[in-house]
Amino acid sequence: MKRQSGPFMTIIFACAAALAAMIAPLHAPLAQEDPIHLVALGDSLTAGYGLPQDAAFPEVLERALKARGHNVEITNAGVSGDTASGGLERLEWSVPDDTDGVILELGANDMLRGIGPAVTRKAIDTIVQRLKERNIPVMLAGMYASRNLGPEYTAKFDSIYPDIAQKHDLVLYPFFLEGVVGNPALNLPDGIHPTAEGVEKIVERILPTVETFLARISQR
């Protein structure tokens, strides 16, 4: 059989190359989406006081979210002893501009020190406002006042978080220590900071709210 040559074969090769170019992308690996970068901005409850680094709240939460299929990275920006005002002072360098969202957990030390709720409210509200101005969404992790501080203080402090969440349309987890506070088996000997098991319990309970927050971020 005589081998074909000339213009006819040129056309055949061109068609084959075009077809290969169309088919190749179908077999190429799918591009991976960039991870969602979260910053956990908080105090010792976020930092992981008394615990190994991999047992701190942000690390445990990141693992739990990844196990559920979420592509996330969480930076631990917790500082032991920090008040809400302290968090405000370090906000700019604690939360970089490429942050996709912030989980804000502050106020426990304000309450323990008896700082006026109006001071705490103003600091947390200012943090939220500044992050909004930078187009960074916030999930607010709330705190309840110890009942031995009296009904007036308790009422003013407890209302800080739902009020700010409503004002700024934030995802709110009402009480960060839900299911852990007051349980000796889940707290260190100081009765304030959770053990590794306590952190696991916190993450288990807060996980659905964080997933709601991630969904809101993804819809932006």
Q: Among all residues, which ones are annotated catalytic?
A: 44, 190, 193
174 secondary structure, DSSP code = S
Residue 51: is it exposed, middle or buried by C-beta count within 10 angstroms (0-12/13-18/19+)? buried
Task: Classify 147 as helix, strand or coil.
Answer: helix
* CA nearest neighbour of 49 among 74, 13, 72, 76: 76
Q: How far apart are CA 90 and CA 41, in angstroms?
A: 10
Q: Are 105 and 43 in contact (CB under 8 A)?
A: yes
Q: How far apart are CA 211 and CA 204, in angstroms?
A: 12
Q: How far apart are CA 101 and CA 36, in angstroms?
A: 8
Residue 154 makes CB contacts below 8 A (sequence gap 6+) with 144, 145, 146, 147
Q: Are 78 and 219 in contact (CB under 8 A)?
A: no
**What are 90's two structure tokens?**
């370090």
Residue 27 makes CB contacts below 8 A (sequence gap 6+) with none
